[in-house]
Amino acid sequence: MPGFLDQLLQGVNSASRIVTSSYVFSTKTILLLKDLATGGSSSRNIPVRLREAFEELGATYIKLGQFIASAPSLFPEEIVTEMQKCLDSVRPLPFSEVQKVLKKELGRDYQKLFQSIDPVPMASASIAQVHSAVTKDGLDVVVKVQRPDIESALGADLNLLFLASKLFEIFVPGLNKSGLSEMVGMFQSSILEEIDFIKEANNCEEFERYLLSSGETRARVPKIYRELSTKKVLVMEKFYGAPITDETSLRKFSKDPSKTLSDALEIWFSTLSKSGFFHADVHAGNLMILRDGTVGFIDFGIVGRISSKVWEGLMIFLEGLALNRTDRIASGLVRMDGTASGIDEKKLAKDLETVFDQMSKMVLDIQMGELDAFDEKKMNTILFEFRDISDRNGLKIPKEFGLLIKQILYFDRYIKSFAPELDLIRDREKFIK
């Protein structure tokens, strides 16, 4: 009987979500039509109206906006640029709602499992929020609690998104070749993994197994408390330290900041090169310098996996970037596309010269210490040009390419603050051991 009631409630919630989403998108469509009627440009206003709708609907749509913003090789430039304004910051859940989730997932007597749970969240995002806690055994932990009804909302949202993307491709000039509807499938697979905390726990422990198997002691991941965790609740060891971008803390906890940064990069690259598995969301908040001087990797909700061909292609691409050789860049792109055949690499290299010059200038400026040279908008523009040139030459760049390049350039910019003697692109082999 409870199963039937749960299904019935999920159906009601999904129907309600569809009505709400339809209303918001309809409102934005009316505004677009009004723009047209008054002589405005619908193509210019579509990204703005779309972003406004995402922010009004929250949760799933905010994650979708961030997904679009993080994949400039897949979506139109104007939409990616606008979606960069989507912030993963939503109103915290009342603690009473958090308690309901804990009770449902861990049992009515869940309080007996903890000495205390701080009712004030450490962080609140679109999928979940995090609270500090102390287990019954006196262990300091963080409790990540999924927002209620996110699964039913997601199911309704994805169905509506697919329909909306198809309609946009049919009726909006210039979007028919954007691949907008294709991204729904990619987004679905991405976010379904993120809302399954068992998979996140598995990802974290997979990274830990790599550290252990390679005898790596310079980095750690939080211990997962499986007996306290479910698909919607994740309990992990609480790390004490600071974001690795905090210069004061970095110098406080590390006698050699340059070596600490080098260690972090080497570990990240090693997992990528040896296993094809990598932490795909290593922003400042997810990479910590711990009190004992070791590096802490946290939050494995988003990970990536690449084939050996993509890895080989990436190394050839970076070699071309370091040596100012467009022929090697072209070879790297061709190697990444496992389905490529009959590609004229000389023509591709010639077509890449202009965009290569832009990227080379950015890399050189970063290496000369001009940290502002790494501009997100410029980087996205460069990646759009790479995609367009590749498309014209019959080449398909894998979606991981843009994310990896941006992460690598971000790291290169980042280490110039603390370790200017390091050159990530030139000395890439140093970080692959």
Quote the radius of gyration of the chain (alpha carbons, Å). 23
pLDDT of 331 strictly over 80: yes
CA atoms of 216 and 297, how far apart (whole Å): 13
What is the average pLDDT score of the chain? 79
CA atoms of 178 and 143, how far apart (whole Å): 40
Instruction: Output the six-digit token pair for 286.
Output: 């997810």
CA atoms of 349 and 407, how far apart (whole Å): 24
- The angle subtended at Cα 239 by Cα 236 and Cα 241, nearest 5°, is 165
CA atoms of 197 and 277, how far apart (whole Å): 18
pLDDT of 7 strictly over 50: no
Q: Domains, the chain, ranges and CATH?
A: 2-88+150-195 (no CATH), 95-146 (no CATH), 197-305 (1.10.510.10), 308-397 (no CATH)
| 303-305 vs 295-297, strand pairing mode | unpaired
Q: 3-state class of 350 per DSSP?
A: helix
| 303-305 vs 287-290, strand pairing mode | unpaired
Over residues 145-165, the mean pLDDT reads 77
* Per-residue pLDDT, 10: 45
For 274-290, give the DSSP string: HHSEEES---GGGEEEE
Query: What phi and psi, each to the nearest 5 degrees, are found at residue 370?
Result: -85, 85
Over the stretch 362-415, which tens digit does the pLDDT of each residue have? 766 666 656 555 555 666 677 777 777 888 888 887 877 777 877 776 676 666
Residues with catalytic function: 281
CB-CB contact of 64 with 99 (8 Å): no
Over the stretch 232-282, which tens digit does the pLDDT of each residue have? 999 999 999 988 877 788 888 988 888 888 888 889 888 888 888 888 877
User: Can you give the pTM of this predicted structure?
Assistant: 0.75
Over the stretch 200-242, which tens digit does the pLDDT of each residue have? 999 999 999 999 999 999 999 999 999 999 999 999 999 999 8
Stronger pLDDT, 41 or 348, i.e. the higher one: 348
As a residue count, the chain comes to 433
Instruction: Output the six-digit token pair for 413.
Output: 């910019």
Stronger pLDDT, 338 or 374, i.e. the higher one: 338
* Per-residue pLDDT, 228: 97
